[in-house]
Amino acid sequence: MSFNFLESLNENQRKAVLHTSGPLLILAGAGTGKTRVLTTRLANILKKKLANPFETLTVTFTNKAASEMKHRVEDMLKIGTDGWWIGTFHAMGARILRKHQEIVGLKSQFSIIDVDDQIRLIKQALSYHNVDEKRWPARLFHNVIQRWKDKGLNPEDISNDEIFGSVAGKKIYRTYQNRLTTLNVVDYGDLLLQNLNIFKNNSEILSIYQKKFKYILVDEYQDTNVCQHQWLNLLAANFKNICAVGDDDQSIYSWRGAEVKNILKFEDAFKATKVIKLEENYRSTNNILEAANGLVKKNKARLGKNLWTKKERGEKIHVINISSSEEEARTVSDIIENLFSKGCKLSSMAILVRATYQTRFFEDRFIKIGLPYKIIGGTKFYERLEIKDAMAYLRLVVSDYDDLAFERIINVPKRGLGTKSLLDIQTNARKNNITLLESCRILSENNYFNVKTSINIKYFLKKLESWKKEKASLPASEIVELVLEESGYVEMWQNDKSVESEGRLENLKELVSAVTEFENLNSFLEHIQLVMDNSVNDTKDTVNLLTLHAAKGLEFDNIFLPGWEEEIFPNKKSIDEKHNEGLEEERRLAYVGITRAKKRVWILHANSRYIHGNWLFSSPSRFIGELPEENISLSNLFFNNEGKNNMSAQIDTAITHTNLKKLEDTLLIGDRVFHQKFGYGTIKNVEGDNAEVLFSKTNLKKVKTEFLIKNV
């Protein structure tokens, strides 16, 4: 059989495939065909009989990537891949561990437990050491242990300075590990950590695998953690034929334990490494690539490469300045509808956001105009657990008869109600033909519940009555804030400390922002019900909404990048916590976003946003200023239709209150103004130091001119 598939490769791809002696680092930029190179390299090794299939190890990060590689190799060589060492790090680690489990105290048929079971065991360990779980939640310590395992650290490796509630972290870690062994189970981190323990303490076993794997191929090396890097280093020590494919410019998962230093220092770890750069891009146009290149070159921690393509120059990246989140969603939907009318499929368009709460305005807009959409790698805003919980609270504030809402939240957060108590509430309600809420109230008054539960239930019922009374006098947004705070729901997520909790809290704040657009709670709840009814759509052609992190590895003809403002993107928390390393990872994330596009990119930034209940005045993201001028097209929708299209000064200068000025005697009917509480509006009448303003978020209001600022 001829090896014809080499002919379809470009020069550098072919070099990467044919280099078969010694360590190799393939720096593969976005859209440069890395998967094809990796699978063709494996096929070439096998075709030339440099190794048999069981003497090669190919590791990936996802089952999907592993499956794709198997299928491609099968197509090339026309043979099956059953039993080959191709799979994820976890799968390959588990395979080795099951052959030698007794060395680390495990028995045959050990189980791999999920996160919920891991947290249960950590709770037991915390209790054993008398650690206050309210101060040190199990979920928080779970993350700590997993990060230790990502770094290849056993309990004895942890510093005595790591203290949690006066107890050394290593003791809690050791108790947790002992419990895992007793139950004959492992967590995901153990699958490679226990491999390291076996290899480091048993040179004979390590030697077996070092002699077995003549060739090692690794995908997405920039995403490896310390433990994975050490594991590969040990396995490759004999033949040294390790091939790592990766892109340091796409290292965006440090929060999951990934270490960009692993790829940056690859040549130090594996001496005499040959480096081959894949820079010819088959996805994007020249303008897109040149803009992305110009941006990521601002990073200092990178190996350096320059993407190029034989494709046309294409459209410049469109950078659009708008006034608010609402206008951002409206602008994007208008562009999408225009593209759709010209024959572009909705599925060819994607909106990439930095944080999940940013999807809300787009979802509201798309539902309003009937534009089908889907959330990739996540859940629609109004279907998220925390939003549905919050909505259940609000429904109960509005109506005592909403039994479904009662059932959802009566024990969220936990109030001590067990299954039997809930069943008794339901039985009493059916027997007396009353609501669950009334049934609960009656049982509480008759001291049915135990003392602790009774205190919690009576507090909840008392607060519910106060929320109902406050509903008549307070703005809807303030009622929502009261309910979420006084119910203990916000505190529950603040104490959760899981990876998801921060996003859930952001979504709850965004819900409060959403309520400000409505006069009362009833109208908001009615709107949400209509939203949920209208969101059911079976069409396959939908606009894609996803985070920048979820977009890695995907591609679309048209990409929209909203929210490019300081503090939103780059993310303020990332910079505050990790300083320049955090900034560079944010810049890599921007690079990933831009390079998802095949044809067109729109970047949008707003002068102000109503975020989490407050108006935020922002400057354009520094990343906009770092894009090469020759590759971008600037337009400004913030000003009235006078063609003020040059925004260069705004990119270099922070948009603060200096862009706005207090109204004095210059107030005119028709002027566009801003009020700290009511937002944007239009002047309808002026009488002395009072003005009537039609606000977009509320309605016509009379306000003092001294509290208005005017767009200039």
Helix (H, G, I), strand (E, B) or coil at 618: coil
Domain that includes residue 706, residue range: 671-710
| Interval 250-263 mean pLDDT | 95
What is the band of 646 on the pLDDT scale with cuts at 50, 70, 90?
A: very low
The enclosing H or E element of 605 equals: strand 597-606
Name every residue whose Cβ is closer than 8 Å to that of residue 14 and which is 6 or more positions away in sequence: 6
Sheet of 215-218, strand order: 85-88, 56-60, 215-218, 242-246, 24-28, 274-278
How are beta strands 556-561 and 349-353 bridged, if at all? parallel
* Catalytic hit among 35, 379, 426, 682: 35
Q: For residue 505, tell me if it sits in a domain.
A: yes
Q: Are residues 391 and 488 in the same domain?
A: yes
| Interval 98-106 mean pLDDT | 96
Q: Are residues 445 and 498 in the same domain?
A: yes
Residue where a domain terminates, one of 465, 497, 532? 532
Q: For residue 309, tell me if it sits in a domain.
A: no
How are beta strands 185-186 and 700-704 bridged, if at all? unpaired
Name every residue whose Cβ is closer than 8 Å to that of residue 393 and which is 6 or more positions away in sequence: 405, 409, 483, 484, 487, 489
The whole-chain average pLDDT of the chain stands at: 90
| Interval 509-520 mean pLDDT | 86
Q: Are residues 92 and 137 in the same domain?
A: no
pLDDT at 709 over 80: no
Distances 169 to 127, 152, 188 between C-alpha atoms, Å: 13, 16, 20
- Does the annotation count 171 as an active-site position? no
pLDDT at 413: 94
| Interval 532-550 mean pLDDT | 78
* Catalytic hit among 190, 220, 386, 389: 220
* Residue 204: Cβ within 10 Å count: 6
Q: Are residues 390 and 523 in the same domain?
A: yes
Q: Are residues 361 and 386 in the same domain?
A: no
Q: Are residues 391 and 482 in the same domain?
A: yes
Claim: this prediction has a pTM higher than 0.85: no
Distances 27 to 135, 152, 277, 327, 551 between C-alpha atoms, Å: 44, 26, 5, 40, 20
Tell me the CATH number at 613: 3.40.50.300
Q: Show the tokens assigned to 61.
A: 């990060």
Q: For residue 133, tell me if it sits in a domain.
A: yes
* Catalytic hit among 13, 32, 34, 504: 34
- Among 83-97, 107-121, 526-540, the minimum mean pLDDT is found in 526-540
What is the band of 705 on the pLDDT scale with cuts at 50, 70, 90?
A: confident
Per residue in 148-186, pLDDT (tens digit) is 999 999 999 999 988 887 788 999 999 999 999 999 999
Q: Are residues 365 and 397 in the same domain?
A: no
Q: Are residues 223 and 76 in the same domain?
A: yes
User: Which residues are bridge partners to 278 per DSSP?
Assistant: 28
Q: Are residues 73 and 24 in the same domain?
A: yes
Per residue in 348-378, pLDDT (tens digit) is 999 999 999 999 999 989 988 989 999 998 8
Q: Show the tokens assigned to 72.
A: 């491609």
- Does the annotation count 596 as an active-site position? yes
Q: Are residues 453 and 343 in the same domain?
A: no
User: Per-residue DSSP letters for 668-708?
Assistant: -TT-EEEETTTEEEEEEEEETTEEEEEESSS-EEEEEGGGE
Tell me the CATH number at 117: 1.10.10.160
Tell me the CATH number at 476: 1.10.486.10
- Does the annotation count 177 as an active-site position? no
* Residue 152: Cβ within 10 Å count: 21
| Interval 97-120 mean pLDDT | 93
Residue where a domain terminates, one of 183, 211, 241? 183
What is the band of 697 on the pLDDT scale with cuts at 50, 70, 90?
A: low
Percentage of the residues of the chain whose pLDDT score is greater than 90: 72
Q: For residue 196, tell me if it sits in a domain.
A: no
- Does the annotation count 415 as an active-site position? no
Per residue in 471-510, pLDDT (tens digit) is 888 888 899 999 999 999 999 999 887 778 889 999 999 9
User: Per-residue DSSP letters for 400-452?
Assistant: TT-HHHHHHHTTSS--S--HHHHHHHHHHHHHHT--HHHHHHHHHHTT-S-HH
Residue where a domain terminates, one of 183, 215, 234? 183
Q: Show the tokens assigned to 419.
A: 């299954």
Q: Are residues 391 and 369 in the same domain?
A: no
Rg (CA), the chain: 29
Query: What are the φ and ψ backbone dihedral angles of 185, each rounded to 5 degrees?
Result: -135, 160
- Among 80-84, 437-441, 584-588, 668-672, the minimum mean pLDDT is found in 668-672
Q: For residue 483, tell me if it sits in a domain.
A: yes
Q: For residue 299, tell me if it sits in a domain.
A: no
* Catalytic hit among 316, 552, 588, 596: 596
What is the band of 534 on the pLDDT scale with cuts at 50, 70, 90?
A: low
Number of separate domains in the chain? 5
Q: Show the tokens assigned to 64.
A: 């999907």
pLDDT at 684: 85
Residues 251 and 588: their CA atoms lie apart, in Å, by: 7
- Does the annotation count 494 as an active-site position? no
Q: For residue 656, tell me if it sits in a domain.
A: no
Q: Are residues 455 and 504 in the same domain?
A: yes
* Catalytic hit among 118, 146, 250, 453: 250
The separation between the first and the last C-alpha atoms of the chain, rounded to the nearest angstrom, is 72
- Does the annotation count 34 as an active-site position? yes
User: Which residues are bridge partners to 632 per DSSP?
Assistant: 317
Higher pLDDT, 617 or 286: 286
Q: For residue 251, tell me if it sits in a domain.
A: yes
What is the band of 690 on the pLDDT scale with cuts at 50, 70, 90?
A: confident
Residues 333 and 327: their CA atoms lie apart, in Å, by: 10
Checking 579-582 for CB contacts under 8 A at 24+ apart, the result is 581/254, 581/301
